[in-house]
Chain A
């Protein structure tokens, strides 16, 4: 039986055709996206995580549409498929900080859900400054364009020390599980509300996806907007306390330097130039992000103290 017929039958749809084979469908109930899952426990986590986030009102996640029998998935050819709404119109960032903030809070809160039966690929990628120095050795002795790397090493050491202090301040708190594909590009506009198309990858227990999300935000909208976003998120999920320390620590860790050094190991000149270029941009954006987040946290502390 063709996948279109299966979907039509299982979901009680009257008209189904491919819009973008094999992912996007055009149906009598609007555009739908098919996701394919090989790992059942991963599918279960994504289903429960989306449902958990859907318990609260406000921005919506692309939850699994139920079949006629109320199932969240169907089994097809030794894998599972799920059906989701698919929307095209992007949801703006600037001016919509409240809605995006509510979404971030929802995603973080839902990520605190227990990952039952899921072998989470927890980010054990701890930052180690000594191994960074080892990576930097070959380039640190070269001159020219690598002077940027050499200068960044001192700053990176300070940031790593500061990040460790923040992690200590957070005590036993751990970050929630996050969808690694968290991005400002995945927000869609449906009748003036924010509809978020989440990913399908293994969740990670680190604030790296949020760091990247915030980098995208500050690059697109600037510092005041980012602060409004954090304030909106903080209303539903406390970012000014332990979880905020973990987020700030994640932003502080100079991951962009490590990534650049790893890219430079190949020795390809063209790649080296592009890596340095990317590093320089990311370093600057992250510097702005770090300033904005620490300022926001300080402002919040002052408000509490007052």
Chain B
């Protein structure tokens, strides 16, 4: 529905594009802008000045390196790609029809395929620095241990109560299992560090930063295009993968075979190396979503007690699926190289 207020609100932004809207519809954070000159998608975001520049650079760079499956940005009449209004930043894209009729699994395949392609096109072998690797290890290890400590304190407090709440009861009954996941994550993180030290390598790629099916749109020719590169960053490819698998595991129908199939799909274009695989297991295994649910509970979330229990249970189930996936992942053959964890291979190559 369009209101005069909406036209008034977005009018100054659309003035930068010489667009005079006849109708504006809100679809999530995107506004569908219907004008005499066509239909457009106006996206609202929050970005600092530096982030705006980086965001524009990323979109242009992707096109330069041959990745054209990005929803293009229209420049303003002054040649800029974003418009700042108050605390918000806006950018304009062509309007792509809804992709609702497409099957979920197909969408995931396209998404993973595009992400792998971006990673392959932007991969850069960084100069390995043992100090930087150790700093990363210590930083993450420190953060995780402090999170574990916070959760232990919550557990102790809950145990002292005469009557525990349903949320506390649910959490406590899974506490040991949760802590085991945290320990597994730390072990894999150590494996990543040892692998980096041994191989003296570290790869960075352009990460989308917000990998999600909802950031994939289909053009009229049916080709999938990625958008929302607002959080794009140069980092390990594992960052995007961990985000994807974490999200995917929240669907109750998701299982380890779906995960392995998507990883296989990804590795067709960008095979992970041993230590990246370990890092992926590590990121996925750490039960941060469960800890976040506890934080929300402690910070008096607006949700009711029963809703909080549902949230926690859903995250526990997702973590269980993730754990199953990770267990298989550690045995899943590496696409690009031999697994140094396999003693036979190690002996043959003389790595260890």
Residues of A within 8 A of B (CB): 29-30, 51, 54-57, 63-66, 70, 72, 190-193
Nearest 9 A/B pairs, CB to CB:
A29-B18, A191-B11, A66-B79, A57-B84, A63-B78, A65-B77, A193-B12, A57-B85, A191-B12
- A190 to B14: give the CA distance in the assembly, Å: 11
- The answer to whether A54 and B78 touch across the interface, beta carbons within 8 angstroms, is yes
Q: Given A29-B18, A56-B84, A57-B85, are A65 and B78 also a contact pair (CB < 8 Å)?
A: yes
Residues of B within 8 A of A (CB): 8, 11-12, 15, 18, 49, 75, 77-80, 84-86
Q: Given A29-B18, A30-B18, A57-B85, are A66 and B78 also a contact pair (CB < 8 Å)?
A: yes
Beyond A57-B85, A66-B77, 11 additional pairs, beta carbon < 8 A? A29-B18, A51-B78, A54-B78, A56-B84, A57-B86, A63-B78, A64-B78, A72-B79, A190-B12, A191-B12, A192-B12
| Cβ contacts A to B, 22 pairs, < 8 Å | A29-B77, A51-B78, A54-B78, A54-B80, A57-B84, A57-B85, A57-B86, A63-B78, A65-B77, A65-B78, A66-B75, A66-B77, A66-B78, A66-B79, A70-B75, A70-B79, A191-B8, A191-B11, A191-B15, A192-B11, A192-B12, A193-B12
Contacts of A190 in B (CB 8 A): 12, 15
Number of A-B contacts (CB under 8 A): 32
- A56 to B77: give the CA distance in the assembly, Å: 16
How near does chain B come to A268, taking the closest CB pair, in angstroms? 48
Contacts of A63 in B (CB 8 A): 78
- A251 to B185: give the CA distance in the assembly, Å: 69
- A64 to B77: give the CA distance in the assembly, Å: 8
- A113 to B236: give the CA distance in the assembly, Å: 39
- A190 to B11: give the CA distance in the assembly, Å: 9
Contacts of A70 in B (CB 8 A): 75, 79
Contacts of A65 in B (CB 8 A): 77-78
Contacts of A29 in B (CB 8 A): 18, 77
How near does chain A come to B35, taking the closest CB pair, in angstroms? 11
- A301 to B49: give the CA distance in the assembly, Å: 32
- A158 to B86: give the CA distance in the assembly, Å: 45
Contacts of B79 in A (CB 8 A): 66, 70, 72
- A51 to B77: give the CA distance in the assembly, Å: 12
How near does chain B come to A11, taking the closest CB pair, in angstroms? 9
CB-nearest residue of chain B to A51 = B78
How near does chain A come to B297, taking the closest CB pair, in angstroms? 39
CB-nearest residue of chain A to B88 = A57
CB-nearest residue of chain A to B77 = A65
Contacts of A57 in B (CB 8 A): 84-86
How near does chain A come to B38, taking the closest CB pair, in angstroms? 13
How near does chain B come to A126, taking the closest CB pair, in angstroms? 38
CB-nearest residue of chain A to B14 = A191
Contacts of A54 in B (CB 8 A): 78, 80
- A63 to B79: give the CA distance in the assembly, Å: 10
- A190 to B20: give the CA distance in the assembly, Å: 12
CB-nearest residue of chain B to A27 = B18
Contacts of A55 in B (CB 8 A): 49
Contacts of A56 in B (CB 8 A): 84
How near does chain B come to A243, taking the closest CB pair, in angstroms? 23
How near does chain A come to B85, taking the closest CB pair, in angstroms? 5
- A191 to B8: give the CA distance in the assembly, Å: 7
CB-nearest residue of chain B to A55 = B49
- A279 to B15: give the CA distance in the assembly, Å: 43
- A193 to B11: give the CA distance in the assembly, Å: 10
Contacts of A64 in B (CB 8 A): 78
Contacts of A51 in B (CB 8 A): 78
- A65 to B79: give the CA distance in the assembly, Å: 8
- A66 to B79: give the CA distance in the assembly, Å: 6
CB-nearest residue of chain A to B86 = A57
How near does chain A come to B162, taking the closest CB pair, in angstroms? 54
Contacts of A66 in B (CB 8 A): 75, 77-79
- A55 to B11: give the CA distance in the assembly, Å: 19
How near does chain A come to B56, taking the closest CB pair, in angstroms? 13
- The answer to whether B77 and A192 touch across the interface, beta carbons within 8 angstroms, is no
- A266 to B49: give the CA distance in the assembly, Å: 56
CB-nearest residue of chain B to A70 = B79
- A136 to B15: give the CA distance in the assembly, Å: 53
Contacts of B12 in A (CB 8 A): 190-193
- A72 to B75: give the CA distance in the assembly, Å: 13
- A193 to B83: give the CA distance in the assembly, Å: 15
How near does chain A come to B41, taking the closest CB pair, in angstroms? 20
How near does chain A come to B19, taking the closest CB pair, in angstroms? 9
- A300 to B12: give the CA distance in the assembly, Å: 33
- A29 to B80: give the CA distance in the assembly, Å: 18
- A272 to B190: give the CA distance in the assembly, Å: 91
- The answer to whether B8 and A192 touch across the interface, beta carbons within 8 angstroms, is yes
- A70 to B8: give the CA distance in the assembly, Å: 28
CB-nearest residue of chain A to B84 = A57
CB-nearest residue of chain A to B19 = A29
- A51 to B76: give the CA distance in the assembly, Å: 13
Contacts of B49 in A (CB 8 A): 55
How near does chain B come to A274, taking the closest CB pair, in angstroms? 43
CB-nearest residue of chain A to B52 = A55
How near does chain B come to A82, taking the closest CB pair, in angstroms? 11
How near does chain A come to B53, taking the closest CB pair, in angstroms? 10
Contacts of B15 in A (CB 8 A): 190-191
CB-nearest residue of chain B to A11 = B77
CB-nearest residue of chain B to A57 = B84
CB-nearest residue of chain A to B10 = A191
- A54 to B78: give the CA distance in the assembly, Å: 9
Contacts of B80 in A (CB 8 A): 54
- A191 to B13: give the CA distance in the assembly, Å: 10
